[in-house]
Homo-oligomer: A and B are copies of this chain.
Amino acid sequence: MKGTGTETTANTTSPLGIAAKGYAVDSASDPFKLFNFERRMPAVDDVVIRIHYCGICHTDIHQVYNEWQRSKYPMVPGHEITGVVEQVGSSVKHFRAGDHAGVGCMVDSCRKCHICKKDTEQNCADSCLTYNSTELDKVTPTYGGYSNLIIVKEHFVCKIPKNLPLDAAAPLLCAGITTYSPLRRYKVDKHTQLGIVGLGGLGHIGVKLGAAMGAHVTVISTSESKRDDAMKLGAKAFLVSKDDEQMKTAANSLDLIIDTVSAPHDVAPLLNLLKFEGVYCAVGAPTKPLEIGAFTLLMKRPTITGSLIGGMKETQEMLDFCGKHNITCDIEKIEATPETIKTAYDRTVKADVKYRFVLDILNAFK
């Protein structure tokens, strides 16, 4: 599996493949290395994208370190991908060379089931993730965006509006759609009292999107220190979740809460903020189950739900919305080397980033 020296090569090669290179890990304890592999030859419905930028999502870190016990190696992470279309297959309708393109967390799905037909391909039982997954054949491994090029079915490629910079737009492909989808699903508008729990990679873009939809946004955070940033991003109010008095005063005030926190936490005080029939939507995935009191369910009859990224149609809609409102993520752009990625991972784990690291891929593999 491992290459010689500091390089590593894929264990499967195709005589018809296109040479690609990226950064991969060979195990949960190995460092990133240069990885030479082959992308499939483009089919008629494929788009070939030269990757310019790739965001670092906390999911990458969970996967690289095998924290969810489902990692396969070698692994090239990355699912917040932006770049430029280099080539398209003959049946591709909506892309041509030179277009700004984005690829998010998935690169295929069955496209036949009732879930796919509802434009919620992300929840298809056969959806193919952008990395640490396989193609629909359940055999061919997928490799993500810490690499110089990617070949993706047209249906799973998005257009990036020309007015958005490709670097700061990259995290929209995951962090953006993850928060946009429930905001739309629950019809956020100027009448909405919206709560965003956690001001990280997801939360900060959730605030921007919610504010752009006209909502009155309240950020709920464990730390008073985030108040000023929250306000700058577009929030109108701020609650320190550990301050019982503040939380009590705000009881029954919110229509919708998007909870972006992935660490185990008590949701009871959050549910107490909901109005009668309000909606609580988890977009993070704490390892411990949420504990929901039955009386809260009976008395408040809330909708408690969750949301996973978004479908392709909705992701394009999100990007168009961001183009119209000139919304991108706040990022720290870094050159892409095995060492800088490691540093970025360490800082992300400590929440020491405002708000997303984005790797400069184009220059790394020039």
Contacts and interface: CB of A to CB of B under 8 A. Distances in A.
A204 B18 CA distance: 64
Contacts of A19: none
A306 B282 contact: no
A114 B291 CA distance: 28
A303 to B, nearest CB: 5
A73 interface: no
A302 B279 CA distance: 12
A286 interface: yes
A247 interface: no
Residue of A115, A290, A294 with most chain B CB atoms under a 10 A cut-off: A294
B291 A285 contact: no
A98 to B, nearest CB: 36
B304 A308 contact: no
Interface string A155-192: 00000000000000000000000000000000000000
Nearest to A113: B276
B301 A305 contact: yes
B306 A276 contact: no
A31 B53 CA distance: 76
Contact of A298 (B276, B293, B307): B307
Contacts of A291: 289-292
A123 interface: yes
A114 B287 CA distance: 37
Interface string A305-320: 1111000000000000
Contacts of A289: 268, 291-294
Interface in A36-77: none
B306 A303 contact: no
23 contacts: A115-B276, A123-B300, A283-B298, A284-B294, A285-B294, A285-B295, A285-B298, A286-B294, A287-B294, A289-B293, A289-B294, A290-B293, A290-B297, A292-B292, A292-B304, A296-B306, A298-B306, A300-B306, A301-B306, A301-B308, A302-B305, A303-B303, A304-B304
